A and B are shown apart, each in its own frame.
Chain A
Amino acid sequence: MADIAEIQTGLAEIVEEVAGIDAAEVTPEKSFVDDLDIDSLSMVEIAVQAEDRFGVKIPDDQLAQLKNVSDAVDYIAKNQ
């Protein structure tokens, strides 16, 4: 089980790999769409990698609810 800090770091690395955004930019308050300019297909790729890395399921309907980086970190922490 990863703790909040580990999830935050791991998720930022995934975002960097999928979307080419510096992991340091992927801070909790950032919105995936509005701040980081990540499109819906990249969100799916991020979700798939997060599922593998953290052992969670992130269905598409849940994914749509994850607006900010912190939403995703919290969701993973609760469901891993």
Chain B
Amino acid sequence: MSVVLRLAESVPGARLLGLGSFQPDRVVTNDELAARVDTNDEWIRSRVGIESRRIADKDTMLVDMASDAGALAVKDSGLEPSDIGAVIVATCTMIDNIPNAAAQVAHRIGIPTPAAFDLNTACSGFAYGLAVAADLVRGGTVRHVLVIGAEKLSDWMDWDDRATCIIFADGAGAAVVGPAPDAESVGVGPVAWGSAGDQSQTIRINPDTRALHQEGQAVFRWATTRVAPVALRAVELAGLTPADIDVLVPHQANLRIVEAVAKRLHAKGARDDLRVADDIIHSGNTSSASIPLALDHMRAQGRLRSGDTMLLVGFGAGLSYAAQVVVCP
């Protein structure tokens, strides 16, 4: 017998309602790393742009960081934990994949019975998670989604590998996504995303050391040439031009990649007063956490204003990438 299935009632779109972040207390300076491996402060600053990063102690787990960031984002949104219908944790650094992070995080925050799942697209994870969350909200499946990017990369470092241990760090950032009541208040634009599996081996876990390995030059070339077009596509999909963008928040992989992406946007008409995230300087590369960490930090520094038009672009292992235009809550 043929039946007609009822669907959830859709809404005009989604918007960001709140932000939150967490970083471990421990600051690791370049000099501290230079005492262990053959590098120096000047080399790290000039190649990667990092002055210091935060590294979690062994008792601080990924789920702890994700829970703290998530709880702050829920509070910032003005909602109660029980208002959240789904939790997405974007992460690539869980030591054990069973159980997932999201259900534990939801329980810690006091969200009773949400849909809860992890999502792994490495450094593009937050932008992927935001895209999924926005469509869940828009489709009427869930009213409020908590999206968290959380990483403990220090668990996956070879601390004798000077090519990687100077770059990566720990932390978590989060956002609450909810319904936009009308077309004028939509605050998450369409996603421009994709993957390049032909280059999957350029960032990977070394099977011998179980540590993160990356082919720096190849990744740098890809990021400095392929990421800006994705960002520009997201602007186009949102019906905007680069001149409409107030804030650019690329994944904080390397300050020189951030600058290269900004330069290409300026060449396509981005304004001179475009504010560009540079959170990597004191946070390091925190993979999926880097975009929401940068947002929360820029807001605390007074560099974001409610209503700002922000362009997010995540990119990393997979290779994978995702970009969207969002409005600052």
Contact = CB atoms under 8 A, between A and B. Distances in A.
Contacts, number: 23
For B47, B221, B260, the residue with the greatest tally of chain A CB atoms inside 10 Å of its CB is B221
Nearest to B225: A48
- In which size bucket is the chain B interface? 10 to 19
A44 B47 CA distance: 12
A40 interface: yes
A60 B260 contact: no
B216 to A, nearest CB: 8
A44 B221 contact: yes
B201 interface: no
B224 A44 contact: yes
A34 B217 CA distance: 19
A60 B218 contact: yes
Contact of B47 (A39, A45, A60, A63): A39
Nearest to B219: A44
Interface in B203-242: 216-218, 220-221, 224-225
B243 to A, nearest CB: 24
B275 interface: no
Interface string A25-57: 000000000000001110011011000000000
A40 B225 contact: no
Interface string B284-308: 0000000000000000000000000
Nearest to B218: A60
A60 B216 CA distance: 11
Nearest to A40: B217
B225 A41 contact: no
A20 to B, nearest CB: 12
Interface of B: 46-47, 216-218, 220-221, 224-225, 256, 260
20 contacts: A39-B46, A39-B47, A40-B216, A40-B217, A41-B47, A41-B217, A41-B220, A41-B256, A44-B217, A44-B221, A44-B224, A45-B224, A45-B260, A47-B221, A48-B221, A48-B224, A48-B225, A60-B218, A60-B221, A63-B217
